Amino acid sequence: MNISRTLDYAVRSLTYMGAKPIDNISMKEISENQYIPINYLAKIMRRLVKRGLVRSMVGPSGGYSLRRTPNEINLKEIYEAVEGEIRLIECMEDDKICRLYEGCPQLPVWDKVQVSFVKILRETTLEDMVKGNINKIDA
């Protein structure tokens, strides 16, 4: 139960971009400012591009830009972009039946945790993080 470094990298990169009002921020700049291995960052950025969170431009003066304003991007999207579907426990897969129980007694617990987790992610925007005003979100 922990946040992967990969997700941390993605969030840091996007936060960095969101805090700058200019387009075409190069991987190099993000990498150096956020201490992220550039080759690894490349892989992460591709996923963000694929998911439509950022737009890329090749060539000199190329780089990445946010496709939407920071208040239109929430953490859930970022999570799913880099990690895929949110699923706390294997048996929560859609069509997987738990081998042990008809009605697993602990599934509702993990489900509740997951719902609450997703709720927080969905309600938190990149703008919140850029501005650092997380407290505004109701706990």
> Which residues contact its own copies by CB under 8 A?
1-5, 7-8, 11-12, 15, 34-35, 75, 79, 83, 86-90, 99-100, 103, 105-106, 108-110, 112-113, 115-117, 120-121, 124, 128-132, 134-135, 137, 139
Q: Which of residues 6-25 bind DNA (CB under 7 A)?
A: 6, 9
Q: How far is the CB of 63 from DNA (least distance, A)?
A: 4
Q: How far is the CB of 4 from its own copies (least distance, A)?
A: 7
C-alpha span between 60 and 57 (Å, rounded): 9
The reply on whether position 45 binds DNA by CB under 7 A is yes
CB neighbour list of residue 62: distance below 8 Å, 6 or more residues apart: 24, 26, 56
- Print burial letters for 61-94: b (CB count within 10 Å at least 16), e (below 16): eebbebeeebeebbbbbbbebbeeeeeeeebeee
DSSP label at 125?
B
Contacting residues toward DNA, per CB under 7 A = 4-6, 9, 26-28, 36-37, 39-40, 42-43, 45-46, 49, 56-64
